């Protein structure tokens, strides 16, 4: 890749494990903040760092992280490449560790979107509306592809859908979907 871009390895930054110290906070900043020398570490991606924070550091441990996107994060024993599955394999934030990630681009962010769409003022109001949905109504299905998708379809053009709508459905049923 470097050759194709007419670059050399010397032009590239150094690579570090996430826990490696790469420098220190500038002394004048540390002093202004009343701190001693503060090491700066390479760090990790948001989900890998969060996983370390909640103790997901050993193979076969897993967690679900919901935010704008939804992530299923599983610590693995090594790099596992299966691009056809759209499951991603990355270095963990700790040395000699790896993780797999399955990512839906629109997860909890859909709640805000549907609240606005239905005229409900916020997510708690949306949840309350979902609890009031007509149990006898035919089900409405929601595919949350509002920003394309990564897993399992890896399709940036994927579109969101409410499926099964009829005249008997209203904001409560959309909230439940």
Spell out the domain ranges in the chain.
Answer: 9-41, 46-104, 109-176
Cis before 20? omega within 30 = no
Contact 67, 83 (CB under 8 A): no
Q: Active site residue: 46, 58, 112, 134, which one?
A: 46
Annotate 95-131 with b (16+ C-beta within 10 A) or e (fewer): eebbbbbbbbbbbebbbeebbeebebeeeeebeebbe
Contact 68, 113 (CB under 8 A): no
Geometric angle at alpha carbon 116, from 112 and 122, rounded to 5°: 60
Phi-psi region of 151 (alpha: psi -120 to 50; beta: other; left: phi over 0): beta
Q: What is the pLDDT of residue 88?
A: 87
The pTM of the full predicted model, rounded to 2 decimals, is: 0.78
List for the chain the helix, strand, coil content (%; round to 5).
25, 25, 50
Q: What is the pLDDT of residue 124?
A: 97
Could you confirm whether 112 is annotated as catalytic?
A: no
| Digitized pLDDT (tens) for each residue of the chain, 177 residues in all | 999 999 999 999 999 999 999 999 999 999 999 998 899 999 999 999 999 999 999 999 999 999 889 999 999 989 988 777 778 899 999 999 999 999 999 999 999 999 999 999 899 999 999 999 999 999 999 999 999 998 888 899 999 999 999 999 999 999 999
Residues of the chain with pLDDT > 90: what percent?
A: 84
């Amino acid at each position: 890749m470097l050759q194709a871009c007419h670059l050399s390895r010397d032009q590239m930054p150094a690579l570090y494990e996430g826990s490696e110290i790469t420098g220190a906070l500038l002394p004048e900043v540390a002093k202004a903040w009343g701190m001693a020398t503060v090491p700066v570490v390479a760090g990790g991606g948001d989900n890998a760092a969060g996983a370390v924070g909640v103790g997901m550091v050993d193979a076969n441990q897993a967690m679900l992280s919901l935010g704008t996107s939804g992530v299923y994060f599983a610590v693995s024993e090594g790099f596992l490449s299966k691009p056809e599955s759209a499951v991603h394999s990355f270095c963990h934030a700790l040395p000699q560790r790896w993780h797999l990630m399955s990512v839906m681009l629109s997860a909890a962010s859909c709640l805000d979107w549907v609240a606005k769409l239905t005229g409900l003022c916020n997510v708690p109001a949306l949840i309350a509306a979902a609890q009031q949905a007509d149990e006898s109504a035919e089900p409405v299905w929601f595919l949350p592809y509002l920003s394309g998708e990564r897993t399992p379809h890896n399709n940036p053009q994927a579109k969101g859908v409410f499926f099964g709508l009829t005249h008997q459905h209203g904001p409560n049923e959309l909230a439940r979907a």
